[in-house]
A = this chain, B = another copy of it.
């Protein structure tokens, strides 16, 4: 009975934590411990109390959500295919060391698998590092591919805003040595096409270049060794005001106040070709080799985007930094603009829905001889898009079908199960999408009601008289019209009426 006492003590711990409103993770952990102890004690006929939930930061997708999700996926996949991309897939986990040293400060958010003997594994954190590993491993130097799959981050979830620990990424990347800015421009065109197609409202695609940022840091007096950490401070500017970012730079990261203030002047700049031209004349920036290269390419990029007719939605923005370590050139991020209130002048940003950039060094980190394969790519943040589409659908009261069933095979009288089975089998074999109720003797009313509820447009009714006459009664649910169709013409009739 020592075990029972231990269980009671553990139950007290859980109660106390709950009263104290302790960290939910900690509570969950203690609850899990309690349940394990209870399980070991032996259960009373399987009446063990489960915590009936999905893991923190994850969700199930029911049929309705899946229907919405497929709409969004279709728009994205169509676009990727329109641009000639192939598709690949990689495992959900990688050797732990494949991910090590690729994500900078974010590495702490990686999910590791338990060491159960064998290799040390981690869940993928994005699709870019696995892609680079794939290229190096297969010695591929030239590919345009998309990859749609789930990635995992032990981040603080904000599920109502579409931020999860398990979420889909939809990535499109172009790998290979090409003339400058042509693939980069195509990536921006793709973001523009997808966001337009999904009709998510107004958006802007911010663009910058890691070389411009690094050049800017250099001319502002940031020491080389602090480039990446100051870069990740700048990255916070879309969430917190400059004053806070500045005090992080000076306080936590030991940057001189003067350098910080000089950065402060640059990062408020955003514009188009005009701004690029101005910065190319900037007495300090124009002296920096990296910045000059970056600005030159940015100019070329804007020329190509002008040919694509999409500069209206592109903003060259010096405050854009992107969190990940591996970017080496152009970076970009698309945000939705949301006119919170018509009287507000400045549109409010509701968050990033796509991002990407150039990473010319990542594949080389995997290649045994360090051979580089230049890459540029874009990742569509589909979860945020889902939550918008989901909210919109709920507001609109549009009824969304979750199956594609064309016809319900029904019977008007009892004892016709065998006939229904024979007919539905014929329809399936002819490629017709058909259902029937799994009852021996269903009421006709219930069968019709099922069609109303699920949106099935047709009912094929078998009855004794029809069987004798070699016909089937076909009912059109919307109009309640009924026609008699010869059995051998039924498939064709259903096809015509549902095409």
- Using CB atoms and an 8 Å cutoff, list the residues of chain A in contact with chain B: 25-26, 28-29, 32, 35-36, 39, 46-47, 49-56, 58-63, 66, 69-70, 81-98, 100-101, 111-121, 123, 133-134, 136-138, 143, 145, 150, 152, 154, 166, 174, 176, 178-179, 182-183, 185, 189, 193, 304, 307-309, 364-366, 368, 370, 402-405, 417-418, 421-422, 425, 428-429, 431-435, 438-440
A86 contacts B114, CB within 8 Å? Answer: no
- With contacts A36-B97, A56-B118, A112-B116 known, what are 17 further pairs, Cβ within 8 A? A25-B117, A39-B100, A52-B133, A55-B93, A60-B88, A62-B138, A66-B89, A81-B404, A85-B403, A113-B113, A113-B123, A174-B438, A179-B440, A182-B440, A183-B438, A189-B425, A307-B425
- Minimum CB–CB distance from A378 to chain B (whole Å) comes to 15
- Residue among A86, A154, A422 with the highest chain B CB neighbour number at 10 A: A86
Report B-chain residues with C-beta under 8 Å of the C-beta of A134: 60
Report B-chain residues with C-beta under 8 Å of the C-beta of A189: 425, 428
Selected from B88, B183, B185, B402, the residue in CB contact (under 8 A) with A86 is: B402
- Minimum CB–CB distance from A214 to chain B (whole Å) comes to 18
Across chains A and B, which 9 residue pairs bring their CB atoms closest together, nearest first? A178-B438, A63-B86, A84-B435, A58-B91, A25-B118, A112-B114, A61-B89, A84-B405, A182-B438
> A112-B114, A179-B440 in contact; A119/B29 too (CB < 8 A)?
yes
What are 30 of the A-B contact pairs (CB < 8 Å)?
A29-B117, A36-B97, A39-B97, A39-B100, A39-B101, A47-B370, A49-B368, A50-B368, A52-B136, A54-B90, A54-B91, A54-B95, A54-B137, A58-B91, A60-B90, A60-B138, A61-B88, A66-B88, A66-B89, A70-B87, A82-B434, A84-B403, A84-B434, A85-B403, A91-B166, A111-B113, A176-B438, A178-B438, A178-B439, A182-B421
Report B-chain residues with C-beta under 8 Å of the C-beta of A35: 97
Bound Cα distance from A66 to B58, whole angstroms = 27
- Measured CB to CB, the nearest residue on chain B to A36 is B97
> A82-B431, A179-B438 in contact; A111/B116 too (CB < 8 A)?
yes
